[in-house]
């Protein structure tokens, strides 16, 4: 069995007296697409910085491609590619000039670099933009150039921090199609706050305020809530949630004027709810649970909310 691409062992990182990551342990299998899902402030970008050797952990150990990120940082950087939240490109240079510049940073030059650039431009559908200034490209095209930049030196692991920020849905879909093709040759770690992106990953780690709250395949995580989720709209959500607990023994989560209840018998329950609590209901829908529902069940607050500020370390 191949060694994990990434191993975290009891990793904690503090900014002063505040803890941004708390006792995090996990493994990323080689050849997988691994998602980090959480709201702003959950620790995703901090973890990416630790993996990229830009920050050392306060406690614990990280191994990337078999190398320790502190003691063997140079070896880690050689096996690592990074795609940042915003493209790390010079808009006043052409696509080819940008790639030649970044290739030189990795010691690539001459025919080897030329061949690699041509190969990546063809693979990412950018051959016709080779001599176009980057600032004249669309957002989706710039993202693909940045992806090519991160792949120039044939990394074993590619870190992508919110890589589709600012892209429209069509460009985002195209970018993910490229990522799925790349999975044949490189391990991917994708930090995102978007449900549809996390659901494309093999494994997802849900982060909240620096803590790992759930880990698993997306379908495995959502299946913990059952097959059906009941969503109730009401002007009195707290009152309705309490009534569901009192009269039906159901645990409910409140988001705004919506009350969500995970139950395996939602269709059978709905008529009884209207009979007992109909005067408090505006509407009711039944759907399959999502990763957002899993996050809500574990944390008590919605995924799109900002995580609480980094907390003081617990005793």
**What residue segments make up the domains of the chain, in order of their start?**
4-217, 226-288
**218-237 pLDDT tens trace:** 999 999 998 889 999 999 99
Facing residues of 190 across strands? 35, 160
Give me the mean pLDDT over the 183-199 stretch.
Answer: 93
Tokens of 22: 């708390």
Give me the mean pLDDT over the 146-150 stretch.
Answer: 94
Three-class DSSP category at 15: strand
Tokens of 34: 């691994």
Sheet with 80-83: strands ordered across: 80-83, 157-161, 187-192, 33-37, 203-208, 211-216
Per the model's pLDDT, the better-predicted residue between 38 and 310 turns out to be 38
CA distance 120 to 131: 14
State residue 167 phi and psi, 5-degree precision.
-90, 145
H/E/C letters for each residue in 51-84? HCCCCCCCEEEEEECCEECCCCHHHHHHCEEEEC
Instruction: Determine whether domain 4-217 maps to CATH 3.40.50.300.
Output: yes
Percent of the chain whose pLDDT exceeds 70: 96
| pLDDT at residue number 1 | 52
Tell whether the model's pLDDT for residue 285 goes beyond 50. Answer: yes
Contact between residue 149 and residue 89 where contact means Cβ atoms under 8 Å apart:
yes
**30-65 pLDDT tens trace:** 999 999 999 988 999 999 999 999 999 999 999 999
Tokens of 300: 């008590």
CATH class of domain segment(s) 226-288: alpha beta
């Amino acid at each position: 069995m191949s060694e994990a691409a990434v191993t975290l062992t009891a990793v904690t990182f503090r900014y002063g007296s505040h803890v941004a990551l708390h006792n995090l342990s996990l493994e990323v299998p080689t050849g997988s697409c691994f998602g980090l899902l959480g709201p702003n402030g959950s620790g995703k970008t901090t973890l990416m910085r630790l993996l990229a050797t830009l920050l050392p952990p306060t406690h614990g150990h990280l191994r990337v491609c078999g190398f320790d990120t502190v003691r063997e940082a140079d070896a880690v950087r050689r096996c690592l590619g990074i795609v940042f939240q915003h493209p790390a490109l010079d808009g006043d240079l052409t696509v080819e000039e940008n790639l030649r510049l970044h290739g030189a940073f990795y010691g690539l030059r001459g025919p080897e670099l030329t061949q690699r650039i041509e190969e990546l431009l063809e693979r990412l559908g950018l051959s016709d933009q080779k001599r176009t200034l980057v600032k004249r490209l669309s957002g989706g095209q710039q993202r693909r150039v940045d992806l090519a930049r991160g792949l120039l030196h044939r990394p074993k692991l590619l870190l992508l921090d919110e890589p589709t920020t600012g892209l429209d849905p069509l460009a985002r879909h195209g970018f993910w199609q490229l990522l799925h093709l790349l999975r044949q040759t490189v391990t991917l770690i994708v930090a995102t706050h978007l449900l549809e992106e996390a659901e494309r990953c093999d494994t997802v780690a849900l982060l909240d305020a620096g803590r790992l709250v759930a880990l698993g395949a997306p379908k495995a995580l959502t299946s913990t809530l059952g097959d059906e989720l009941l969503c109730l709209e009401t002007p009195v959500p707290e009152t309705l949630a309490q009534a569901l607990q009192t009269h039906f023994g159901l645990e409910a989560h409140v988001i705004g004027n919506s009350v969500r209840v995970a139950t395996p018998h939602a269709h059978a329950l709905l008529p009884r709810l209207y009979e007992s609590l109909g005067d408090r209901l505006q509407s009711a829908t039944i759907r399959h649970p999502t990763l957002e529902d899993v996050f809500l069940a574990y944390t008590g607050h919605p995924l799109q909310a900002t995580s609480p500020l980094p907390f003081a370390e617990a005793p």
